[in-house]
Structure 1
């Protein structure tokens, strides 16, 4: 393995047997009509590292195989907003692959992330000419667009309890939830007071336990049940 230091972050690149083990276990060969394995790098990012800095075009198309991340954007007034999540089997950098002119959003890890990295300088043309891969990418983008549209309807159709449960499960790492309240309020469109009230309810019911500024998940099932209502809408 080797390490690459980028903008203060240390990203690990798996080599040899460790790389091959991930290629075998999480093969994406079926997504392409050409031999993709020779181009794939396997990258590991620690929690809170930036996979992509906002405004900087990536050099890779990433495919997440383990872990979670968050997408941020900075508005013209300087405010930074969380706009979406990234999970296993999601792509990162697909918009930059398809668009020469595109303002790149910031991607920061929520947990340790392991992903396949396909270098644009080596297989950019092959990916854009591969009808099989482009069909798969179109499916991914359509699902992503549908989920983004649904997010706005949830704020009208469901109480904060359901949406916060889903948010906690999306952002927790090793059973610990530690997102800043102001970020959560902005993302969910609720007041600071309302958020604290529901968090206190979750603690009273035994779903969470407050530990300083963070919360430890004590009961997963009630949170999953609340979050699952969003999926079944």
Structure 2
């Protein structure tokens, strides 16, 4: 993660699977969800760049993102262009689109379907799996890794359940019991150990990757876990 500010072919980042990129954190509380839902943008899965345009509900999209000096400078402009792009032969121009609001009934059905699909992903978690879940805006972590101590369980007690991190699940909610994986060294952020002293609860609909592929080694009887760059990218792709 520390090397993401550098280009892939620069210095110590030459052997990394990552290229240079920029992250913009949007806190959950900063998103206004009171308005209407909108239809998805055509070709969303193939797009690498989407941004706001000029005018109500107008956006701009293109299939390739570029961080050359010229394109980076366009980030502050309301109406960007690609004329001075250093890689114009490989980067397409911005194309405007207009968001279309869904009907209320359709929007409600979409939200319910999304929640059900997320829950069904969590149901696939089995005891012993290592899964990924959102970090909830933690500045140091894009996601958390958790070792499952159970599959999905429904809270049936009237008083609910509370974990060692003061997370409270109420009656009727579906959760997974587990233990967080913590960084072995916060300076390198490449390996984890399983925190065996505390238990955590994760809502079933917060699971983004069911069975994270890891490699392990044992040091003085302690299990050390690491994930590959490719697996890290897969988790980020599921999150964003």
* TM band (smaller chain): under 0.3
Output the TM-score relative to the length of structure 2. Answer: 0.27
Select the structure that is richer in helix.
Answer: 1
Output the TM-score relative to the length of structure 1. Answer: 0.28
Structure scoring higher RCO (CA < 8 A, sep ≥ 6) equals 1
